[in-house]
Structure 1
Amino acid sequence: MGSDRAPAVEVEGGVAACAQLSDDDTIVLVGNKPAIQKALARQKGPQDKIEIVHANQRIGMNESPVESLRTKPNSSIAVLAQLHAEGAIEACISAGNTGAFVSATQMRLRRLRGVHRPGVGIMIPTLHGPVVLCDGGANMSCRPRHLYQYAIMASIYMETVYGVKNPRVGLLSVGEEDEKGTDLVRAANGLIKRDSSIYFIGNVESRDLFHGACDVMVCDGFVGNVVIKLIEGMSGGLIRDILNNLKDLTTSTPELRQIAMRAAGQTLETYDFNQHGGAPVLGVGGIVILCHGANSCLGMTNAVLLAHKYARHKVNQRITERLTQDERTGNG
């Protein structure tokens, strides 16, 4: 219960997701029980698949992740991670404090076998299809082998969840040439290139993200988070500006205005992060889905469905099998 409009968004999204889940699935809402019950009372959908676990503490967005987890052991984030670690739930989803959620899940769930550092795989919609960027902010101090594993894990995620066969992997740099970039990028380039099982197209630039150059874009968490925040801010501003201009141009022609607004609405829907729910933390020993704090009810519903799909396609099992193979062969 950590979104900007908690618990209403989580509750409504959870109720809506119930209709699309299997009969034996259950949604567990973790947070202030009276507040959740009040929000549930306003919902008209079926609630027989919903359970509530009370947590009387909440970690704010501006609180220190580690310190808040230490001083608030009964926060919804801490309780959620513990429930997953105990096997009471099979996936955990949060739109709350990202640092606290990632820290709690990594402490409780540890890493999958063979994984050096988990990374966030963020799906970015483009006109050429989805692109998964990894890492989106979990690991700010990367080593070459971390980026190499992000290429593997994000490729598995892209292939199993989004159905992209043999996804093309690009390494984010300041130029396409192998010798360009930081020491980290150059070393990672060499590691990824040596693995013939990865469809590595080499270095890519940030402008390639929306030009269909690759299906997976690999970078460290600092760079990835900057890219995501820039896209979020710039796309919102550009789309609002375009909509305003369309209104001015089509004021005198109702038919043209209707067509223009329909096209604008379709574009907004394509690039709305709520359509994709959230982003998995790849490499952690569980199913952990990060959501935007501004997620709508639709976003929370889609986050539940993403977690369900992640489990159904056994993404973590595939990652473990692949990296265990690397251990045997000495790669990475």
Structure 2
Amino acid sequence: MNIIIDAMGGDNAPKEILLGAAAAVREYGVQITAVGRRRDIEACARENGIDMAGITVADASETIEMCDEPTAAIRGKKDSSMVVGLRMLAAGEGDAFVSAGSTGALLAGATLIVKRLRGVKRPAIGTVIPGAKQPYLLLDSGANVECRPEMLSAFATMGSVYMEKVMGRANPSVGLVNNGAEETKGTPAYVEAHRLLKYNKNIRFAGNVEPKDVPQGNVDVVVCDGFTGNVILKLTEGVAKMLVGEIKNVFMADLKSKLAYLMVKGGMKDFKKKLDADEHGGALMMGVTKPVIKAHGSSNAKAFKNAVRQAKLCVESGAVESMREKLAAVAQTEEAGA
């Protein structure tokens, strides 16, 4: 299996990207094609003692910056590491693509170059988030500020496939974020989305889920528009950091507290790991014809390694092909209902 990576994308590129790629080669047995300025990649590897066994380099002279306008960058920077990598993926020169670069540019590039699955108006970003009961998939978590009801139905279908195929959840449940549990709650678009989800035979719809219940992880897939999802994502990240910091302050207050910490050190380590976004590494661009993974812009080696792992799991599970089949079935059902 060959995973194509954007070696120049992200705040810590290329060093952390290459370190993560090298770790992925060792631990997961994948081959890596690192796309970027060859001289910079090779120099970084030499200076940091990075083992490049299993990693080949594809030269690309340009880099898309976070400040670049997404669509203009994809169309204008033809020899950027992101565009070259996506073209390689579309041409069948690799099985998946991973980038920690600009989210907007990656979304535009995946849509324009790799193309959308039939039945998908716009791809969504699916992010796995820690929950009290279990991690859950949030989508859309930032790609589409406004969504029509049929888009939310497609998100639910794709998210359900992802949780089953990639995360190993049997018969995953789907919840629609809303300000109340009743079917009539929310905007007209969300009321209609509830109706479509209710009659979507390709998912197990659990109804509306209120924001206060989302972190519990009672449902496997949480569906919403990208604006709402991004707010949930960033609020969750902020609260997690606050909790870890406040708990640390409690244990570091005095000698007795420090001694108490030694007694629960193992449990605290597990708690911190549970809240660590680096454990999941990346988010799948759902609705694209081949696996495209968005790693966090500030990814370190551990996070990027796990993003490659996500890519590997997506390829091995055949998640994209399953999404294609399920979306076709949904389209037939909606046409019959119309």
Q: TM-score, normalised by structure 2?
A: 0.92
- 1:246·1:260 contact (CA, 8 Å) conserved in 2? no
Task: Work out which of the residue numbers 198, 205, 210 in structure 2 matches 1:200.
Answer: 205
Partner AA of 1:216 in structure 2: V
Task: Work out which of the residue numbers 294, 299, 302 in structure 2 matches 1:298.
Answer: 302
Give the match's secondary structure for 1:68: helix
Alignment of 1:72 with 2:67, yes or no, is no
- Could you tell me which residue of structure 2 aligns to residue 33 of structure 1? 38
Give the match's secondary structure for 2:28: coil
Task: Work out which of the residue numbers 17, 29, 50 in structure 1 matches 2:24.
Answer: 17
Alignment of 1:316 with 2:320, yes or no, is yes
1:31-79, CA deviations, whole angstroms, 9 ceiling, x for partnerless residues?
1212211222255565331011122222221221122223322221111
- 1:243·1:264 contact (CA, 8 Å) conserved in 2? no
Alignment of 1:256 with 2:260, yes or no, is yes
Q: How many residues align?
A: 329
Partner AA of 1:191 in structure 2: L
Give the match's secondary structure for 2:253: helix
- Could you tell me which residue of structure 2 aligns to residue 289 of structure 1? 293
- 1:119·1:136 contact (CA, 8 Å) conserved in 2? yes
Alignment of 1:159 with 2:164, yes or no, is yes
- 2:250·2:257 contact (CA, 8 Å) conserved in 1? no
Alignment of 1:266 with 2:273, yes or no, is no
Alignment of 1:231 with 2:236, yes or no, is yes
- 1:178·1:189 contact (CA, 8 Å) conserved in 2? yes
Q: CA 1:39–1:111 in structure 2 vs 1: closer, same or farther (change >3 Å)?
A: same
- Could you tell me which residue of structure 2 aligns to residue 83 of structure 1? 88
- 2:173·2:220 contact (CA, 8 Å) conserved in 1? yes
- Could you tell me which residue of structure 2 aligns to residue 141 of structure 1? 146
In structure 1, distance between residues paired with 2:252 and 2:207: 43
- Could you tell me which residue of structure 2 aligns to residue 57 of structure 1? 62
1:206 Cα offset (Å): 1.1
- 1:171·1:217 contact (CA, 8 Å) conserved in 2? yes
- Could you tell me which residue of structure 2 aligns to residue 177 of structure 1? 182
Partner AA of 2:179 in structure 1: V
In structure 2, distance between residues paired with 1:326 and 1:76: 36
In structure 2, distance between residues paired with 1:7 and 1:239: 30
Task: Work out which of the residue numbers 102, 120, 123 in structure 1 matches 2:125.
Answer: 120
Partner AA of 1:121 in structure 2: G
- 2:251·2:258 contact (CA, 8 Å) conserved in 1? no
In structure 1, distance between residues paired with 2:144 and 2:173: 22
1:17 Cα offset (Å): 0.5
- 1:147·1:219 contact (CA, 8 Å) conserved in 2? yes
- Could you tell me which residue of structure 1 aligns to residue 4 of structure 2? none
Q: TM-score, normalised by structure 1?
A: 0.94
Give the match's secondary structure for 2:222: strand
Q: Percent of aligned pairs with the same residue?
A: 35
Alignment of 1:101 with 2:69, yes or no, is no
- Could you tell me which residue of structure 2 aligns to residue 307 of structure 1? 311
Q: Which runs of 5+ in 2 are unaligned?
A: 1-7
1:92-137, CA deviations, whole angstroms, 9 ceiling, x for partnerless residues?
1111111011101110011112323211111011121110011111
- 1:3·1:9 contact (CA, 8 Å) conserved in 2? no
In structure 2, distance between residues paired with 1:323 and 1:200: 16
1:245-272, CA deviations, whole angstroms, 9 ceiling, x for partnerless residues?
21114x3465423234443332221111
User: Greater CA deviation, 183-192 or 82-91?
Assistant: 82-91
Q: Which runs of 5+ in 1 are unaligned?
A: none
